[in-house]
């Protein structure tokens, strides 16, 4: 007998909430019971997609539409309070990154979630991106040999209306490019190379004048011995970012330009063109020899949000373990916190071993 559909509510109707809602609507294994948000425009969105609208979490929890699970898409600084309220009522949660805006509040949330026993998935959906699936395979299969170094880029231009109401919270410290964008990259770096041992940074010039940082140059040292450099900025015109490179976000035009280069003892891989450069088939490995190039296979039909939702449903049903646990979500926050501290102090920051 087929399992009952998982009843899901989407909490928050900002930039990402509607996308989650439409993904749930298209699922054969989940049903969208409501969107929860006090903003007046949410009623129109709910009517447009044919679901109910509740003004608060308390309202939906007290209603006949109480969900089995919820997807938290509220502003960063509200994630902990929203997660606490839902999990206290026994509602399983997919919580958009970041898990919280401080390491201490993240630790408190983890302790609370362990007490409630609800299922938790952190929304680092890029783990499901087909380009990253192929990249992880290249790394773990040792197709590149021993990974020595990685170079990463996330640079784009966010217009001023991105920071205007109701998004004015993005002007504050929790709304900068580190907790909104770099945290995704840190999770992928964890996914590929494991724990970070040390970070060293330099801040880019601030042109907006907000509390939120606009960018940084970062050096990562991983416990595995891998070293990496990363440039991040949300205030420069650039096609060198994950969204433009992979084309996964329908709101951002695809450009197909590279955002990662991974250097190994056997080969180098650039992403997302998935070009693997090596001396395979050559008489010897030398800079005097011509490099051979091959394009690694990618299943471009896979849609990360769809795959993440299907996985979340299985997590709720107890059929799969979370691909990105609350501990892994906190680990990404720990590294981003170290990046922010390095920017403030102007020195390297050492990290103690942490859970992934």
Q: Is the pTM of this model over 0.95?
A: no
**CA angle (325, 326, 328) in 5-degree steps:** 65
pLDDT tens, residue by residue, 250-272: 889 999 899 999 999 999 999 99
How many C-beta atoms surround the C-beta of residue 297 within 10 A?
10
pLDDT of residue 173: 86
Contacts of 35 (CB under 8 A, 6+ apart): 9, 10, 13, 17, 21, 42, 45, 46, 51, 52, 53, 54
pLDDT tens, residue by residue, 9-29: 999 998 899 999 999 999 999
pLDDT tens, residue by residue, 58-112: 999 999 999 999 999 998 899 999 999 999 999 999 999 999 989 999 999 999 9
Which residue, among 127, 140, 129, 124, has the nearest Cα to 300 in the 3D structure?
129
pLDDT of residue 249: 85
pLDDT of residue 40: 85
SS3 label, residue 105: helix
Q: Which domains does the chain show, CATH number per domain?
A: 6-124+305-324 (3.40.50.720)
pLDDT confidence band for 2 (50 / 70 / 90)? low
pLDDT of residue 197: 98
Hey, which residues does 282 pair with through a beta bridge? none
pLDDT of residue 12: 95
Q: pLDDT above 90 covers what percent of the chain?
A: 89
Helical packing angle, 79-88 and 103-116, nearest 10°: 10
30/309 Cα distance (integer angstroms) = 9
1 pLDDT more than 70: no
pLDDT of residue 266: 97
pLDDT confidence band for 237 (50 / 70 / 90)? very high
* In contact, 6 and 33? CB cutoff 8 Å: no
78/56 Cα distance (integer angstroms) = 13
pLDDT tens, residue by residue, 26-56: 999 999 999 999 988 899 999 999 999 999 9
Half-sphere exposure of 174 (CA within 13 A, CB side): 16
3 pLDDT more than 70: yes
H or E element that contains 308: helix 304-316
What is the rounded average pLDDT of the residues 184-194? 97
Contacts of 287 (CB under 8 A, 6+ apart): none
Window from 128-137, 198-207, 247-256, 267-276 with minimum mean pLDDT: 247-256
Half-sphere exposure of 107 (CA within 13 A, CB side): 6
pLDDT of residue 187: 96
DSSP 8-state symbol, 66: -
Window from 110-124, 291-305, 309-323, 339-353 with minimum mean pLDDT: 291-305
């Amino acid at each position: 007998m087929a399992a009952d559909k998982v009843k899901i509510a989407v909490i928050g109707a900002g930039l990402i909430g509607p996308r989650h809602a439409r993904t749930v609507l298209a699922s054969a294994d989940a049903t969208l019971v409501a969107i929860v948000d006090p903003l007046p425009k949410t009623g129109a969105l709910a009517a447009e997609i044919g679901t109910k609208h509740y003004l608060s979490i308390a309202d939906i929890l007290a209603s006949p539409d109480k969900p089995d699970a919820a997807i938290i898409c509220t502003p960063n600084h509200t994630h902990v309070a929203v997660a606490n309220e839902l999990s206290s009522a026994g509602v399983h949660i997919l919580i958009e990154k970041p898990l919280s805006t401080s390491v201490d509040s993240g630790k408190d949330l983890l302790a609370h979630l362990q007490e409630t026993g609800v299922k938790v998935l952190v929304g680092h959906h890029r783990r499901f991106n087909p380009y990253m699936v192929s990249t992880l395979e290249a790394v773990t299969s040792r197709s590149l040999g021993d990974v020595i170094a990685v170079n990463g880029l996330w640079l784009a231009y966010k217009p001023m209306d991105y920071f205007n109401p109701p998004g004015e919270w993005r002007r504050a410290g929790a709304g900068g490019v580190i907790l909104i964008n770099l945290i995704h990259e840190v999770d992928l770096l964890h996914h590929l190379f494991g724990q970070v041992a040390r970070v060293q940074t330099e801040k880019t010039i601030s042109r907006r004048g907000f509390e939120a940082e606009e960018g940084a140059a970062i050096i990562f040292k991983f416990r595995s011995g891998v070293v990496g450099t990363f440039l991040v900025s949300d205030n420069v015109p650039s096609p060198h970012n994950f969204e433009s490179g992979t084309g996964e976000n329908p709101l951002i035009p695809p450009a197909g330009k590279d955002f990662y280069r991974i250097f190994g003892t056997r080969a180098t891989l650039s992403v997302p063109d998935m070009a693997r450069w090596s001396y395979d088939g050559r008489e010897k490995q030398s800079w005097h020899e011509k490099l051979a190039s091959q394009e690694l296979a990618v299943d471009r039909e896979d849609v990360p949000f769809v795959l993440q939702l299907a996985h979340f449903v299985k997590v709720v049903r107890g059929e799969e373990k979370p691909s990105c646990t609350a501990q892994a979500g906190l680990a990404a926050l720990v590294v981003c916190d170290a990046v922010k501290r390095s920017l403030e102090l102007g020195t390297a920051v050492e990290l103690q071993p942490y859970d992934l």
